[in-house]
Amino acid sequence: MKVSRQAHQPGLALIFNAAAEQFHSRAGVSRGNSYFERALSLAMTLSAELHESARLSPMNERNVLGGELEPCGTDPLTGFFRDGCCSTGPQDEGAHTICAVVTSEFLAHQRSIGNDLSTPMAEYRFPGLRPGDRWCVTARNWAIAYNDGVAAPVVLAATNEAVLDMVPLQALKELAVDVPDSPGDLC
């Protein structure tokens, strides 16, 4: 079953409003406070932009095999849009399009190039990754790891076809870990 980014977007305004109210009550900041008003305005603008983006970008993204883009992972929740899929769009400047099953070698390599995926960051609700987690990684950083011989295995059915503008399909297939629907396909 495909997890739809659109299903999550209409609730963003409610989430931002709830967060603003929590901030208001916990910090004792009045609605007249300019910092509070700017933050709320930015949050509401972002919500509107994300909702409009989802409305204009129907969920017809395909995977590198030509099929429907399948979910990559929900524990931890991955994807640029945190919808479980390696969906992409103009706001995803990093192209988080490759569904990788991270390894300790890949995580160490990412840390060495300035992309620490292991350390939890509570401010982003990011738990930190452990070997075996499935995560939508950027095409650029996966390609660097590939060239350095430590690329993470790839789930092709959950890898967005947009990555093919940057990474050859053959490179992805070399590290594919997809399980075919029919065991006969393994022969």
| pLDDT band, very low/low/confident/very high, at 122 (cuts 50, 70, 90) | confident
Residue-wise pLDDT for 66-79, tens only, equals 999 999 999 999 99
Specify if 187 maps to a domain: no
Tens digit of pLDDT for each residue in 80-96? 998 999 999 999 999 99
Q: Tell me the residue range of the domain where 41 lies.
A: 5-56
Same domain, 164 and 80: yes
25 with 99, same domain: the answer is no
Report whether 172 contacts 133 (CB < 8 A): no
Note whether 94 and 25 are same-domain residues.
Answer: no
> What Cα–Cα distance (Å) separates residue 132 from each residue in 56, 153, 166?
34, 10, 25
- Indicate whether 39 and 92 sit together in one domain: no
Q: Give how many domains the chain has, as a whole number.
A: 2
In a domain, 132, yes or no: yes
Let me know if residue 186 belongs to a domain.
Answer: no
